[in-house]
Amino acid sequence: MPTVDSPVFDADNHYYEALDAFTRHLDPALGPRVLEWAEIGGRRYHVLGGRVSRAVSNPTFDPIAPAGTLVDYFRGNPQGRPMHELMGTPEPIRPEYRDREARLAVMDAQGLERVWLFPTLGMLYEEALKRDPGAVVLLFRAFNRWLAEDWGMAYRDRIFAAPYITLADLGEALRELEWALDQGARAVVMRAAAPTTANGPLSPAADLFDPFWARVNEAGITVVVHAGDAGLSSNGYAPEGFAASFRGGPVRLSIKLFAIERAAHDFLATLVLERLFERFPNLRVASVENGSDFLAPLFKKLHTTARRMPSYFGEDPVHTFRRHVWINPFWEDDVDEIVGLMGDDRVIFGSDWPHVEGLPEPTDWVTELQKLPDESVAKIMGGNVSELNELHPAS
All structural domains of the chain with their residue ranges: 9-17+101-242+257-388
d(CA 62, CA 382): 32
Model pLDDT, residue 251: 65
Predicted structure pTM score: 0.96
Model pLDDT, residue 246: 42
Model pLDDT, residue 51: 96
d(CA 235, CA 186): 38
d(CA 184, CA 152): 9
- Tens digits of residue pLDDT in 44-92: 999 999 999 999 989 999 999 999 999 988 888 888 888 778 888 999 9
| 270: Cβ contacts below 8 Å, ≥ 6 apart | 194, 203, 204, 205
Question: ∠280-325-309 over CA atoms, to 5°?
Answer: 70
Model pLDDT, residue 245: 39
Q: What share of the chain is helix, strand, coil (3-state, %, to 5)?
A: 40, 15, 45
Model pLDDT, residue 2: 63
SS3 assignment, position 93: coil
Torsion-angle region of 131 (φ positive above 0: left; ψ -120 to 50: alpha; else: beta): alpha
Model pLDDT, residue 83: 79
SS3 assignment, position 100: helix
Q: Running DSSP on this structure, what letter comes out for residue 136?
A: H
Query: Alpha-carbon torsion 134, 139, 145, 151, what sign?
Result: negative
SS3 assignment, position 331: coil
> What one-letter code names the amino acid at 257?
L
Q: For domain 9-17+101-242+257-388, say whether CATH 3.20.20.140 is its number.
A: yes
**Residue 208 CA: distances (Å) to CA of 163, 168, 188, 270:** 22, 11, 20, 15
Name the CA radius of gyration of the chain, rounded: 20
Q: Alpha carbon 312 to chain centroid distance?
A: 31
| pLDDT beneath 50: ranges in the chain | 244-249
Model pLDDT, residue 247: 43
> What one-letter code names the amino acid at 188?
V
Contact of 359 with 365, CB cutoff 8 Å: yes
Phi, psi (deg, nearest 5) at residue 318: -70, -40
Model pLDDT, residue 386: 98
